[in-house]
Amino acid sequence: MVTTILIATGTALLLTFFILLFKLPTKVQYIEEIQIEAPVKKVYDAIRFQEQLMKWSAWPSETNSQCAVKNVDGQIGAQTVYLQKGKPFGYQEVTDLVENEKISFYLTSKAPFEQDTRMHFYLREINENRANVALYFDNTLKRPSHVFPYIFGIIAWTHKMHLKDLAGLKKFASENE
């Protein structure tokens, strides 16, 4: 009786995993927007300069990590290296800059699953003291490990972190005007 229950449970779990393996998307994309009471140049600099970005980003405090800037800050190739207990576990790198319009990042970390993560900030001047910021998140997860970020809530958590980041950017850029 116990053996039958264990076999049935194991079979059900295995079947569920295979269904999730093929039903869950490997691509995670979304866009979030916010308007900020600050000139577009101020917002652009708050994002592209990694030293400024780490002052408003929720990631260091939420992940209990420290950050260090590598390469020339504010330029393509600048990296924010994430450290835990003094050891690097990932970084984000500036990959594209269009003055006052776009900042793109490539992100990598020692996650238990493979992924290709890109993030873009698109800026639009509304008037001389107001800017619109659109955060575009684009993450491609590799099969079969793509199932785990869904199961453990990492995708939803990441989305919430980006919303916190936009709120932090708004506060930082508005207060430092």
Comparison of pLDDT for 13 and 173, the residue scoring more: 173
Binned at pLDDT 50, 70 and 90, residue 163 comes out as very high
CB 137 within 8 A of CB 28: yes
Beta-strand pair 130-141/27-36: antiparallel
Q: Could you give the residue ranges of the DSSP H alpha helices within the chain?
A: 2-23, 40-48, 50-56, 59-62, 147-151, 154-175
Mean pLDDT score of the chain, rounded to an integer?
Answer: 89
Instruction: Check residue 147 and give its pLDDT.
Output: 83
Q: What domains, with CATH codes, occur in the chain?
A: 29-58+97-175 (3.30.530.20)
Comparison of pLDDT for 119 and 82, the residue scoring more: 119
Strands (DSSP E) contained in 75-128 are 79-84, 87-98, 102-109, 115-127
The winner for highest mean pLDDT among 32-41, 106-115, 150-159 is 32-41
